[in-house]
Structure 1
Amino acid sequence: MTTPDARMVEEPTDPDVDLRVPAQRQRSWRAQAPIVAVVALGGGIGAAARYGAALLWPVAAGGFPWTTLWVNAVGCAVIGVLMVVITDVWAAHRLVRPFFGTGVLGGFTTFSTYAIDIQRLVDAGEARTGLAYLAATVLAALAAVWLAVAATRRVLTWRQR
């Protein structure tokens, strides 16, 4: 029995692109560059909007982070609407979803700040508030996206009658 050579382990790859072929490797980068660019641009816009929300509605030290909770809930609701519109209604350009979904809304919603908020609450001796925030954000985000998808589909169905 032979053991496989560690250098010969195949990484998972896109079946349509063989990156060992220089022309396909170059073509792959050219196809991905616009997507990377719109995600970066959209992420900057979304993060700036989130920062603006934090400036408009600051949270006191040790207080419940309402701003982050609402930002995440609103972002999830908007992504629910966006996904219904671009999958069920509108044949969007290939860069719309990466720009708005991954970029703008990915930069706007902030589950990393959510985690830091929980840690700060726990470190400040507010473990119950941290746990409440932990649960409330997940429930609010899931409810927001579910309600937004359901409402958007209902409105679209109503408009088609």
Structure 2
Amino acid sequence: MSGSGALLVVAGAAVGAPLRFVVDRWARDHTRAGTILGTLVVNLVGSFVLGLVAGVPHPPEWLMPLVGIGFCGALTTFSTLAFETWVFLEERAWKPFAANLALTLGLGLPAVWLGYLLTS
């Protein structure tokens, strides 16, 4: 499945990456929290979906490459989380710094668990 697996990853990423862009732009244009909210939303949704995929008993071979790696990998973004958190640190904006990390980890881990629980 290596060749077809790579194509499945590409197909999933082709949906996840544009969706991330749309969520980020919507958050920037419609909320005061801007891209930080967009990053939080895509990371939480991606964590939940990855939990769902990981919990499927006897999953089809295509599921993890397409949805887990391709879609979730392109939708979520650790690098943007790290950068946004770094900016807060540089600005010594301690409350947003702590909130960004606490919300992402504090809600992301339960999102994975909930998704896994629903399908396992």
Q: Report the RMSD for the aligned CA atoms in angstroms.
A: 2.2
Partner of 2:46: 75
Question: Percent of aligned pairs with the same residue?
Answer: 31
Relative to structure 1, the CA distance from residue 101 to residue 64 in structure 2 (aligned partners, 3 Å threshold; closer, same or farther) is closer
1:41 paired with 2:8, answer no
**Given residue 71 of structure 2, which amino acid in structure 1 is its aligned partner?**
V
Q: Deviations over 1:9-61 (max 9, x none)?
A: xxxxxxxxxxxxxxxxxxxxxx5222222212312321111001001111658
Equivalent residues of 2:24, 2:35 under 8 A apart: no
CA distance in 2, matches of 1:79, 1:130: 26
Partner of 1:115: 82
CA distance in 1, matches of 2:99, 2:6: 36
How far apart are 1:64 and its partner, in Å?
Answer: 8.1
Partner of 1:17: none
CA distance in 2, matches of 1:97, 1:109: 15
1:56 paired with 2:23, answer no
CA distance in 2, matches of 1:105, 1:133: 20
Higher relative contact order (CA 8 A, sep 6+): 2
The structure with the largest helix share of the pair is: 2
| Pairs aligned (count) | 118
Q: Deviations over 1:69-128 (max 9, x none)?
A: 12111111111112223xx1x541x22210111000111111111101101222333133
Q: What secondary structure, in the 3-state scheme, does the structure 2 residue paired with 1:125 have?
A: coil
Equivalent residues of 1:64, 1:133 under 8 A apart: no
Structure 1 residue runs of 5 or longer lacking an equivalent are 1-30, 154-161
1:148 paired with 2:120, answer no
Structure 2 residue runs of 5 or longer lacking an equivalent are none
TM-score w.r.t. the length of structure 2 is 0.83
Larger radius of gyration: 1
Partner of 1:5: none
CA distance in 2, matches of 1:35, 1:113: 27
TM-score w.r.t. the length of structure 1 is 0.64
CA distance in 1, matches of 2:19, 2:96: 26
Partner of 2:55: 84
